Structure 1
Amino acid sequence: MAQIDTLAETILEKLRMVSQAETVIGKPIQAGAVTVIPVSRVSMGFGLGGKKEAVAASGGGLSVNPVAFVVISGEDVRIMPIAKENDIVSKVADLVPDVLSAFKKKEA
């Protein structure tokens, strides 16, 4: 197999590992009776160039951006989208009252 083919297969395998479903749908975070699941957008790309089966240049990139949270509280399931990257802090802050409420209900 040519060197460029081997490199391309290696890069694709590494990108496949990074972009698994666990990257897009994050690990659930449990806070009392409330479960918060982060959802992200994964974008990637790469390119190879060569001459006579030898790699002359290669490059690539990967981007993971949070886009929403799935909030589960009992039978209530809500999707809280994130409009911009800067809004992530405000979205997390919006969840705080729900999480505190869940803890208070649990204590009662």
Structure 2
Amino acid sequence: MTHPIEMLMQTTMENLKQMIDVNTIVGDAVQSSGGAVIIPVSKVSFGFIAGGGDIKQDSNKGNKAEDNTPLFAGGTGAGISVMPIAFLVVTQDQIRLLNVSANNSVERIIDIIPSIIEDIKDIIQRR
């Protein structure tokens, strides 16, 4: 016979598995009218807690279970956070990762370096 806390934990974990899958982290691709494919990327965090205990049966108070099974009190809880962090943009000639939080100047500079190099190449080829 399984303990009631095991059933609580199993039910909660099954529900979490249904909510969180790979499509939560890397979303479904969307094609734009210009032909680019845009894929959202998210950060997923979750927490899980379960607890419980057997209640001591007091024969003086009359709360004894009729079938002699111990009394149990318990509960579980879970929390989930899904935060978009980037978009992967795929076109015919390039793949770019666009960060949602481009507050960091260094990240922004690293992101635009390939396009700057391409612009410089174009200028040099024209001359």
TM above 0.5, one fold? yes
- Equivalent residue number for residue 88 of structure 2: 70
Any unmatched runs of 5+ in structure 2?
Answer: 55-70, 103-127
Cα shift at 1:48: 1.1
Q: Which has the larger radius of gyration?
A: 2
- Equivalent residue number for residue 46 of structure 1: 48
TM-score, normalised to structure 1, is 0.70
Corresponding residue pairs, total: 84
CA distance in 2, matches of 1:75, 1:50: 57
More helix by share: 1
In the TM superposition, structure 1's runs of 4+ consecutive aligned residues that sit over 4 Å from their partners are: none
- Per mean C-alpha deviation after superposition, the further-off stretch among 67-76 and 52-61 is 52-61
For the aligned residue pairs, the C-alpha RMSD in angstroms reads 1.7
Cα shift at 1:60: 1.7
For each residue in 1:41-78, what CA deviation from the matched residue of structure 2 results, as whole angstroms up to 9, or x when unmatched?
Answer: 11111111111283423322111000000000113101
TM-score, normalised to structure 2, is 0.60
- Equivalent residue number for residue 79 of structure 2: 61
Q: Is the counterpart of residue 5 in structure 1 residue 26 in structure 2?
A: no
| Identity among equivalent pairs (%) | 32
